[in-house]
Chains A and B, each alone.
Chain A
Amino acid sequence: MNIFVCISHVPDSTTKVRVGPSGKEIDEEGVTFILNPYDEYAVEAALQMKEKQGGEVTAVCVGNDAVKETIRKALAMGVDKGLLIKAERSRDSFGIAHAIADTLRDRSPDVIFCGKQSIDYDSSQVAGMLGELLGFPSVSAIVGLEVDGDGNITLERDIEGGQEISKTKLPAVLSTDKGLNEPRYPKLQGIMAAKRKPIEETEAAPYENRVQVMEMRLPPAKDAGKIVGEGVDAVPELVKLLHEEAKVI
C-alpha cells in the first residue's frame, strides 16, 4: 500500500492570538507550532493501515522550511518518510489541495489521509478538494474505518444527531475526526530514528489565494459576568435573571 498522510503545522491550541503588523495574519512571534491535532488521528490511521496491509507511509506538508519540524514529529510516530512541498505559508486550502494533488498525481497513492480540519483556519476543505482534483472518492471526518483485502472500505462519520455509515473503495481520500483511534506517542527510539529518515523536497507552482483576507481582528472583549452568589441559595436569583434579564428561559 502506498499511503500518504497530509499534515499541517499549526500554532499550539493554547496560543494567545495577537494580530500581526499586516493586520491580516497572526503575530507568530513566540508562538509554538505543533502537528495539527486532527492530523494525529490521520497519522495513526495511516500507521495502522500499514501494519495490517503492509506498504509505506509518507507524510506530506505544504509549507516553508519551518514545517520540517512538524514532519519530524510524524516521522517520530513511525511514518517512513517526509515530503515537503515548498510554498509560502499563507496559502488557502485550495492552494494547498492543488499543490498536494499536483505532487501526488503521478505517485499512485492508494490512500491519502487528512485531518478533519486544520486548527488555524478551520476550513475543513483540503480532503474534499483533493478527492475531486484527483478523481478519488472522499469521506470527511471519519470516526470508524474498516478496509477489506479487496480495497473496499466502510466508514463511519458523525452527523447531527447520529452517525452515517458509508461505503467506497480505494484509492480514496479520508479525513479523520477525534474518536477514530488513539494516536500513539512517539517513543525515544522513534524520535532518534526520525532524525535519519529522509525528507524529500519539491516546489509548488506559484499560486495566488482565492480566499483573500482583508482584515483579521480579535473578538470584542467580553465583560466579566456576574457572580450571582454561592451555593443553593443563589439559585432563585439566577433563575430570575435568566428569565427576566437574559430572557433565555
Chain B
Amino acid sequence: MKAIVFVEQRDGNIKKSSCEAIHAAASRFGSCTAVVIGPDLGDAYAGLGAYGASKVIAVTGDGLENYSVTAYAKAFSGVVQELGADVVLFSATAMAKDLAPRVAIRLDAALASDCTELTVQGDEVIATRPVYAGKAFITVTLATPVKIFSLRPNVFTIGETSDAQAEVEKRAPDLSDDDFVVRVVETKMASGRKDVVEADVIVSGGRGMGAPENWRLIEELADVLDAATGASRAVVDAGWRPHAEQVGQTGKTVAPSLYIACGISGAIQHLAGMSSSKCIVAINKDPEAPIFKVADYGIIGDVMEVLPALTNEIKSVVGK
C-alpha cells in the first residue's frame, strides 16, 4: 500500500504530531511520502527522513504560506492523486479537523477521525477510534479505494529517529483567487505555556481551587513540571479560565503522561476528556470524589496546602 502523510507546519515549524504520523505510516506501510504545504524552505524538510519519510513533497506558491482550507484541500488532493496513494494519514489537529473532511470529498475517500490504533492485516487497514468521548471504542475498516485516517496526537510515538535524509521534491500547484475563498489573515499565538493538547504534563484546576487568584498555585506547579494548565468546565463557565484550557467532553481531549487534577470532582464529562492520560493524580478534600476512581494516585486534602508542598517537593526531586 502506498501511504502519504499530510505534514503540518506553522511558520516553518513542523508539528511533532505530524512526525508521529510519519512514523506510524513508515512502520506500517514500509515507507511513506510526506507532503508539506507552506513557505519554500529549500531542503529544510529533508530532515523528515529521520522519522521514516522516504520522500518529501514541498508544495509552495503564492498565498500558500498561510493556511486556507479550500486551497490546501485542492493542492493536497492533487498530490495524492498524482502519486496514486491509497492510504492518507493526518494528525488530528485543529487544522486537520478543518481540512481532512474536504480532502475526503475531493478524493472520494472514507475518513476515520481521531484514531488511537492502526493495524494492517493483509489488504485491510483496521483502525480503532474512541466514540462517546472515550466511553467506548470501535474498530473500523474503510470501504473506499483511498482510505484516510487522522491519528490522535500524543498517542502514537515518533519511534527511534535515524539520520536519514528524505529526497525533497517541489510542486507549485495551479491555484486561482477562487481557491482562496477562505483564508487565514492572522494567527495569534499565546506566549509562554504549552497548549493542553500538546503538553506531556498537565496541571488542571476545578472549582475546588476556590477563586481565580489561587491559580498561582497551579501555575507554580506547572512551571516546575514544564506543564500546560487545564481547567474544568465549571471554572471556565465561571470566567476564571479561558475556553482553550477546558478539558472534557465539550473541551479538549488530552492524553498526557501525567495529569494532575486539583479540586476537580471528576464528573463524567470531565473524565471523558482526560481518562486516557497515562498517569492521573488527584488532589481533593472529599474522599468520595469520583476522580479518585480513575486516579492512579490520590491525596485527600486541601489544595491550598497540598499544592505548595507538592511544588516544593518536586523542585527538590527534579532539582529545579
Contact = CB atoms under 8 A, between A and B. Distances in A.
Contacts of B134: 219
A109 interface: no
Contacts of A94: 104, 110-111
Interface stretch (A53-61, A187-195, A197-205, A220-228): A220-228
A66 interface: no
Q: Count chain A CB atoms within 10 A of each CB in B133, B246, B257, B258 and give the residue with the most.
A: B133
Interface residues on A, range: 35 or more
Q: Count chain B CB atoms within 10 A of each CB in A37, A166, A167, A230 and give the residue with the most.
A: A166
A141 B272 CA distance: 19
B113 A123 contact: yes
Contacts of B73: 132
Contact of B187 (A119, A162, A209, A219): A162
A127 interface: yes
Contacts of A164: 67, 94, 184, 186-188
Contact of A213 (B138, B144, B281): B138
Interface in A58-89: none
Nearest to A37: B250
Interface stretch (A1-9, A43-51, A152-160): A152-160
Q: Count chain A CB atoms within 10 A of each CB in B138, B244, B310 and give the residue with the most.
A: B138
Contact of A225 (B287, B296, B318): B296
B305 interface: yes
Interface SS majority for chain A: mixed
Contacts of B314: 239, 249
Contacts, number: 273
A166 B182 contact: yes
Contact of A231 (B67, B135, B305): B305
A231 B188 CA distance: 41
Contacts of A19: 136
A163 B317 contact: no
B120 interface: no
Interface in B238-259: 243-244, 246, 249-251, 257-258
B214 interface: no
A123 B115 CA distance: 10
Contacts of B296: 225-226, 246
Interface residues on B, range: 35 or more
Nearest to B268: A14
Contact of A127 (B94, B101, B186, B298): B101
B292 A38 contact: no
A127 B101 CA distance: 8
B131 A225 contact: no
B107 to A, nearest CB: 10
B297 A26 contact: no
A122 B113 contact: yes
B155 interface: no
B112 interface: yes
A119 B318 contact: no
Interface in B137-167: 137-144
Contacts of A179: 243
B181 A235 contact: no
B40 interface: no
A162 B189 contact: yes
Contact of B278 (A37, A122, A218, A248): A248
B299 A158 contact: no
A212 B317 contact: no
B69 interface: yes
A246 B296 CA distance: 9
Contact of A241 (B98, B136, B297, B305): B297
Contacts of A163: 187-188
Q: Count chain A CB atoms within 10 A of each CB in B105, B293, B314 and give the residue with the most.
A: B105
A210 B269 CA distance: 29
Contacts of A161: 189-190, 194-195, 198
B1 interface: no
A209 B143 contact: yes
A124 B95 CA distance: 12
A125 interface: yes
A75 B230 CA distance: 35
Interface of A: 11, 13-17, 19, 24, 26, 37-38, 92-94, 97, 119-129, 131-133, 137-141, 143, 157-169, 172, 177-179, 208-219, 222, 224-232, 234-236, 238-239, 241-243, 246, 248-249
9 contacts: A94-B110, A132-B101, A138-B102, A161-B189, A167-B182, A213-B138, A214-B139, A219-B135, A242-B258
